[in-house]
Structure 1
Amino acid sequence: MSVHELKRPPLADIAQWRVDVPQALEQLRHWAQVSPLQPALRHKRHGQWYAWRWIDVLRDVERLADGLRQQGFTEQSRLAVSGAFEPNLLLLTLAAQQAGGQVLAIGDDLDAQALHPILWQSQPTHAFVPRRQTRQLWLNHGQAVLDFAELFGPSEPPQRLRTSRTQAQWWSEEGTQWQGGLTVLLAQWLGSGQAVAFPESPGSASRDRREVAPSGLLLSAERLQRLAEEIDSRLAAPGTWRRRLCDWAIARPEKGLQRLIKQRVRRLLGLHHLHDIWQAPRTRPDNLARLNEFKRDIA
């Protein structure tokens, strides 16, 4: 019996994986109409930054929706996405909604034993799994894994950027292992109309964040904690006079020397344009306080 023939569990059983942004397509059409040439997505690929304008995003979503329908995707279908957040994954998520089906976000850090019961319960009819090692795991479970290039067909590549910066943009270095994160990302991105930038890989996130210098962070509680730890790692060891000097400068950046010290730390972290931090549930207050110290309006 194929996955397509299995009885689907009730909606409540898949709520923890379901991506649900009710006004997503209407918001996308709005930004494509009022800001068609403004950047909507930015992603680093093979060492270069690329951008998708709002009108590009809308056209790509419509094109991918047609490709999904040709693959048998209907209103009764479920698309599972698993991987790092990046433009292809977002475009395909919106395309599945355009085609009338459901989208499930399933962590890409699961082994075979953990993945099996999730697939049995969620029963996706189609899957998008970009990472090669993870894709093989899904294929071994009998899943129909989609090829993005095959769905999209021949097309012009995204625009290569001369600069990676814009006045206001969110930053995300997450993936589908952040439960509920894809819903958060889509809601904040489409609700604000600001671009979202993504690193080339998890390993290059710190370096790529410095290049982008985002104005807002869209991160899980766990990732915010790692960023707070990264801040501390950039400073001198606790208890030393250098650390006391840094802490003093960060807390009171009103004068010249303190401001210079704090600005240097902020630039090392790529936080020198930071205005907003989306507060993830369960974020530790001390981590949030540490990051709030680096917002631009109080620097």
Structure 2
Amino acid sequence: MKGTLLEPLFRWAEVRPQAPALRVKRLGVWQPRSWRAWADEVLDLAGGLEALGLGAGGVLAVLGRNAPEWVTAELAAQALGALPLGLYADAMADEVGWFLEYAEAVGVVVADEEQLDKVLPHLERLRFVLVWEEAGMSRYWSDKVRPYSAVAEAGRARREAVRAGLAALTPETVALLAPTSGTTGRSKLAMLSHANLMAGHHALRDVLGLRGDEWLFSYLPLAWIGEQMLTVVQTLALGLLVHFPSEPATLAEDLREVQPDFYLAPPRLWEDAAAFVQSRAQEAGWLKRRTFRWGLDALLEGARRGFRGERVGPGLDLARAAAYPLVARPLRGRLGLADTRVAITGGAPLGPEVFTFYRAIGLDIRQVYGQSETAASTCAHPAGDAPPETVGPPLPGTEVKISEEGEILVKGPQVFVGYYKNEEATRETFTPDGWFKSGDAGAFDERGHLIVLGRLKEVGHLADGTRFAPQLLENRLKYSPFIREVVVLGHDRPFVALLVEIDPENVQNWARRRRIPFTTYPSLAGRDEVYELIAREIAAASAQMPEALRPRRFAVLPKELHPDDEEITRTRKVKRNVVEVRYAPLIEGLYGGAERVRLELPIRFEGGEDVLEAEVRIADVL
């Protein structure tokens, strides 16, 4: 067991048995679970799972929102030498079925009736399904569908036998099947050993300054490797305290109650929060609005000068000192980040404008770069050295270099074992001399910081040979409170054009204030006033860019990009190849001079499909 994730679990259970390890909010109350209680539950559940047929090498899928039972099931599988596989709670039934069949899962642990419904069509090939939210579920109980608590209770008699079996685990034992993002097709399952995960922990711990007394807030999908590294790996290794919110509807309230010391969010959420703040500021009374604008401008200018290494000056220093208690402190409290000592963004590069916004309000936000295959641990900003255009230098013990084609290559102890049931893909993702091929394009700056330019396949050239990286412009545009997502086009084309998804809430609020009538999202997206608004936002965001790279035409999409339609991944990354095929007539219209294009877009939802018919306007940027 030495060198595995289970070793620190049982160590904490011995040295601080009554200290809380987990807290979950249920029925409006934060309910704690001690290290001793958690360790015992892991052993009991492992015993129950073993009695149901789970053993070494078998796959246990876990499906549901973040909860103590989620991570307990994962650790119980690891205690048996089995392979836990986390699935996204918002995955559709056919997607869940594909993973269960592909992985040949022995059993599944689900949260509730909604998730059970996705699994029931595949019950025949499964040995068991456990449900942890048991209220109202008695009609489902059978030889295969069982209450989580009953299986754990039955396994208590096997507790010591399971504990004795832990000796067979080694650091090289595979601890996790981590789904890849799947931006170019079906997700693959990256096999990560205990040694890989612990190497990622050691590499990140000192760079991020984790001390071991932090409060965490676990709300991002545990199927995502970034949340795994925080909620499971760092928590176990350092003895942190994790809080699980009650449900998505109360997420913001629960976050404000916890005020975590260490906080992780992907770029999409940082962008949404910044957009929300700016939108609400515009709705405030004139005095609050002017105070906010004055204070934020002073804070932003100070942050920009700091990034450039310029002297701030006494006048600006005085303005920032006055602005912090008036603007930054209440804003951080409102966001639930008043006590956050370190904030992390990961999963994709965060735009410099958004990054600067959070640094301006006093948040020590840093980028971490990595993939499922590298335990989300390749590069990170160290304290006091976090330029927004980079993701930091390579982590200790990690080698990173750029290939002749411009691809980021990685070596280190955190690099995964290989893809589950896919030896060909494993061979293709490594160079002959053992470097992992990330699929990302990048470059190093003069300080040794890595700059990620986007997916290698997406970095291209305009027809005149001008090189451009779509992601850099996309990140800049998403700082606008009115733009939720954008797809930048231009490879082998004469100019840059855009497909824009508006932020529905912020644009709706903007339209209501101006008494602009609309009924549905498509009706709002097609309004002339909205097109004028988006054109101004595009022009402002691209004003400092080289003229050849400034967008010339754009269209506002008639629907939100959605993972159920396979237009974005479950981690909110755009599937560019899918979007370019689905919206091909609109793209041709952008470059063919058309003013309107009619689209028929298939849309999917749980239990059915439909077609959205829309006539989409194309406009020039101001």
What TM-score, normalized by structure 2, do the two folds share? 0.39
Q: What is the CA–CA distance in structure 1 between the aligned matches of 2:361 and 2:238, rounded to whole Å?
A: 22
Name which one, 1 or 2, has greater alpha-carbon Rg: 2
Q: Residue by residue, what CA displacement relative to the aligned partner does 1:199-225 show, whole Å, maximum 9, x if unpaired?
A: 111111100000111111133343343
1:102 aligns with 2:103: no
Partner of 1:57: 38
The alignment's C-alpha RMSD in Å is 2.9
Partner of 2:566: none
User: Deviation at 1:180?
Assistant: 5.8
8 A Cα contact 2:42 2:72, kept in partner? yes
CA 168–140 in structure 1, closer or farther in 2 if over 3 Å, else same: same
User: Deviation at 1:148?
Assistant: 1.5
Q: What is the CA–CA distance in structure 2 between the aligned matches of 1:189 and 1:229, rounded to whole Å?
A: 31
| Structure 1: runs of 5 or more not aligned | 1-21, 155-165
CA 73–177 in structure 1, closer or farther in 2 if over 3 Å, else same: closer
For 2:10, what is the secondary structure of its paired residue? helix
Work out the percentage of aligned pairs sharing the same amino acid: 26
Q: Residue by residue, what CA displacement relative to the aligned partner does 1:112-158 show, whole Å, maximum 9, x if unpaired?
A: 3333322221121110111311211111222431131222239xxxx
Q: Residue by residue, what CA displacement relative to the aligned partner does 1:43-73 show, whole Å, maximum 9, x if unpaired?
A: 1111111111222211111111112122222
- Structure having the higher helix fraction is 1
- Structure having the higher strand fraction is 2
For 2:346, what is the secondary structure of its paired residue? coil
User: Deviation at 1:36?
Assistant: 2.5
Q: What is the CA–CA distance in structure 2 between the aligned matches of 1:292 and 1:151, rounded to whole Å?
A: 48
How many residue pairs end up in the alignment? 266
User: Deviation at 1:284?
Assistant: 1.0
1:291 aligns with 2:358: yes
8 A Cα contact 1:178 1:220, kept in partner? no
CA 148–183 in structure 1, closer or farther in 2 if over 3 Å, else same: farther
Q: What is the CA–CA distance in structure 2 between the aligned matches of 1:249 and 1:46, rounded to whole Å?
A: 43
Match of 1:137 among 114, 118, 121: 118
8 A Cα contact 2:299 2:320, kept in partner? no
For 1:174, what is the secondary structure of its paired residue? coil
Q: What is the CA–CA distance in structure 1 between the aligned matches of 2:44 and 2:90, rounded to whole Å?
A: 30
Q: Residue by residue, what CA displacement relative to the aligned partner does 1:244-268 show, whole Å, maximum 9, x if unpaired?
A: 1241465468534532432111111
CA 125–222 in structure 1, closer or farther in 2 if over 3 Å, else same: farther
CA 72–138 in structure 1, closer or farther in 2 if over 3 Å, else same: same
Match of 2:13 among 19, 25, 32: 32
Partner of 1:274: 340
Match of 1:178 among 219, 224, 244: 224
Q: What is the CA–CA distance in structure 1 between the aligned matches of 2:235 and 2:272, rounded to whole Å?
A: 23
Match of 1:134, as an amino acid?
A: Q
8 A Cα contact 1:168 1:215, kept in partner? yes
8 A Cα contact 1:42 1:198, kept in partner? yes
8 A Cα contact 1:74 1:99, kept in partner? yes
Match of 1:291, as an amino acid?
A: Y
Q: What is the CA–CA distance in structure 1 between the aligned matches of 2:82 and 2:68, rounded to whole Å?
A: 19
Match of 1:72, as an amino acid?
A: G
1:205 aligns with 2:263: no
| Structure 2: runs of 5 or more not aligned | 131-146, 155-211, 303-318, 366-622
1:241 aligns with 2:290: yes
- Does 36-45 or 289-298 show the bigger shift? 289-298
Partner of 2:176: none
Match of 2:53, as an amino acid?
A: G
Q: Residue by residue, what CA displacement relative to the aligned partner does 1:167-213 show, whole Å, maximum 9, x if unpaired?
A: 62111212245366335531221222211111111111100000111
CA 202–293 in structure 1, closer or farther in 2 if over 3 Å, else same: farther
For 1:93, what is the secondary structure of its paired residue? helix
Match of 1:62, as an amino acid?
A: L
Q: Bigger relative contact order, structure 1 or 2, given CA contacts below 8 A and separation 6+?
A: 1
CA 255–179 in structure 1, closer or farther in 2 if over 3 Å, else same: closer
Q: What is the CA–CA distance in structure 2 between the aligned matches of 1:76 and 1:297, rounded to whole Å?
A: 41
User: Deviation at 1:230?
Assistant: 4.0
CA 82–179 in structure 1, closer or farther in 2 if over 3 Å, else same: farther
8 A Cα contact 1:211 1:270, kept in partner? yes
CA 83–231 in structure 1, closer or farther in 2 if over 3 Å, else same: farther
